[in-house]
A and B are shown apart, each in its own frame.
Chain A
Amino acid sequence: MHMADALVTPAVAGTMYACSAAAAGYSIYKVRKENDPRKIPLMGVMGAFVFAAQMINFTIPGTGSSGHLCGGMMLSALLGPYAGFLTMIGVLLIQCLFFADGGLLALGCNVWNMAFYGCFLGSLLIWKPMMSAGTNKKRITIASILGCVVTLQLGALSVSLETLVSGITELPFGVFVATMQPIHLAIGLVEGVITAVVLCFVHEARPELLWGAKGKEEGRFSLKKTLGILAGAAAVIGGVLSLFASAFPDGLEWSMEKVAGTTELATAGGVYDTFANIQEATSFLPDYALKGSESAIGTTISGIVGAAIVLLVCVGCCHLFRFFKNQKCIN
């Protein structure tokens, strides 16, 4: 999944560097706050271990092929999300310098696609909640496989998006995604199984080494801070990348244009008019730009506002869900 320099434009690379730097800054702050000097050499040796373990080919049963470990999920399960993330940055930097696996300019993209999802989302939203109820082989296996599959899918989707926004390939987005996702589903499953068996072994031999296992005080999951990082990333991606959004029709509009000759179907009638009026009254960003503004600033503001609205809707839905859940419990 390593992206080469040629696959991104400087604007996309810069934006992704900014996003990765924000996550790295927060991770450094957390690691420093932990104030555990043992962690620095441990991170170094674990980074080298992941590098070495990637060289081992694992035979995939029933097929003639073999797979290898990527390591993001494993590192965060052993070191925690923050130290794991920083270790992955070191591994990716050395891979890009010595093996041309990824590029210097695309390092921000690669850190985001491979380290951020694996270490932050995988460990904070999948590993940690599952382990908080107690650690056993079943939970470790499910968390590892689910974590690897979900984070690799997100990483592959990000690769497609970054390539699309960079305007590198003429391949339609749908086709690109349809190619990338199934391949990474298979890779995620294999990596998930490898991670699971190794972590199960560690659980049997030295369970205290696993991060987030019940009874350990360190690394408490802070929903507010995780949402803060995600909100910052959403604002940067929405605000900066939207400047490079394509003016061409999207897949659905393209299909409609081919079938009907227009991207917006002519409709009339009472129900349509009623909803159109409601939309006209509430929409302050027609076509994602400020009313009467065709400028880049308008696009940027639209991107940020859009990201904020989506975030607010998500938070609102979560609160509603919790409210109804609590009501149900009281009743």
Chain B
Amino acid sequence: MNKIDGAISQFQSMDSMAKEDRWMNQIHPSIKLFLTVLFIGLTVSFPKYNLTGLFGMILYPFVLFQIGELSFRESLYRLRVVLPIVCIVGIANPFFDRAVVTRIGEIGVTGGVLSMLTLMLKAVLSVLASYLLIVTTSIEKICYALQQAHFPQILVTEVLLIYRYISVLLAETRRVTQAYHLRAPGQKGIAIGAWGPLVGQMLLRSMDRAERLYQSMCLRGFDGTFHLKEKSHVRRTDILYLLIWTALLLILRLFPVLEWVGRWFVR
């Protein structure tokens, strides 16, 4: 599967998952968005040597994967983008920070190793949190939540339009590149001589498409804003969900809960 096919199938699969009728999908989008941002904010705020404290945050994605009946394996695919960058940044830490900060039995663990592992865990957790948001909430609902949070209307409209046209333009790009590669077999990418005409033609067609889109939107009464049909009310369950998770996440961030639990068993 090439890059474009991969992107199209990823879009389709996430979109269909977000539109499924599951318990997690029913939670109010504003609450899910708030909790995701809170979780990521608290996760990345952990000090660089506090790996044990950070382990407690695993609870959030773990529970959500369970109650949302989601596949953990599919989410791992997203880590391919983030982990290499984080590894490059974090890999230097063990070389520069060699002071032993803790010991596991007889083995001394240096600050660099600990901070590298913390960094990687933070990356994994933050990626999983945004994955959980997008597979349980459709883009329309996220835009509705943004609208509720007084996000500028022009940006909300634009995000919806971009999202709506990505699949159309990705399909067109696939057709164009497929046609090119059929005429230039064995070639890895697009040759320099074709860069301008190939992308330029696509660009001009897209601009013409935008003009036609504008005219058709005007015919349907477009006044510069999208009126989202997603008008969901906050239920008692939603408030309970918000309160429980906010309290849990704050407790996990502020207190060494895992250490307390561990001391019950290890003395």
Contact = CB atoms under 8 A, between A and B. Distances in A.
Interface stretch (A93-101, A127-135, A289-297): A93-101
Interface string B8-49: 001100100000000000000000000011001101110010
Given A66-B188, A101-B81, 14 more contacts: A4-B123, A10-B44, A41-B217, A46-B206, A47-B165, A51-B169, A52-B202, A90-B158, A94-B159, A99-B10, A103-B130, A170-B115, A198-B203, A201-B197
Given A58-B189, A100-B127, A104-B130, A171 B96 contact: yes
Contacts of A64: 188
Nearest to A48: B165
Contacts of B262: none
25 contacts: A5-B123, A10-B45, A13-B41, A41-B214, A42-B211, A45-B213, A48-B161, A53-B173, A57-B190, A64-B188, A66-B189, A78-B203, A96-B130, A99-B81, A103-B127, A104-B36, A104-B40, A105-B37, A105-B41, A168-B90, A170-B93, A170-B112, A171-B89, A197-B200, A201-B197
The 9 closest A-B pairs by CB, nearest first: A44-B161, A201-B200, A48-B165, A197-B196, A170-B96, A5-B126, A59-B189, A6-B123, A47-B162
Given A49-B202, A205-B200, A170 B44 contact: no
B154 interface: yes
Contact of B130 (A24, A100, A172): A100
Given A4-B123, A197-B195, A105 B44 contact: yes
A48 B14 contact: no
B7 A90 contact: no
A170 to B, nearest CB: 4
Contact of A94 (B119, B162, B173, B190): B162
Interface string B124-146: 00110011011000010010000
A41 B210 contact: yes
Given A55-B173, A104-B36, A200 B196 contact: yes
Contact of B164 (A44, A78, A168, A200): A44
A100 B131 contact: yes
A194 B130 contact: no
Interface stretch (A31-39, A265-273, A275-283, A312-320): A31-39
B196 A28 contact: no
B103 interface: no
B97 interface: yes
Residue among B152, B202, B209 with the most chain A CB within 10 A? B152
A241 B24 CA distance: 38
A233 interface: no
B191 interface: yes
B85 interface: yes
A206 interface: yes
B258 interface: no
B174 to A, nearest CB: 8
A167 interface: yes
A42 B81 CA distance: 29
A37 B211 CA distance: 11
A47 B187 CA distance: 28
Contact of B190 (A47, A56, A87): A56
B157 interface: yes
Residue among B139, B192, B204 with the most chain A CB within 10 A? B192
A94 B157 contact: no
Interface in A162-193: 163, 167-172, 175, 193
Contacts of B197: 201
Given A28-B154, A40-B224, A94 B166 contact: yes
B235 interface: no
Contact of A58 (B119, B126, B190, B209): B190
B199 A69 contact: yes
Contacts of B196: 197-198, 200-201
Given A10-B44, A37-B224, A52-B172, A42 B166 contact: no
Contacts of B199: 53, 56, 69, 194, 197-198, 201
B177 interface: yes
Residue among A2, A4, A91, A167 with the most chain B CB within 10 A? A4
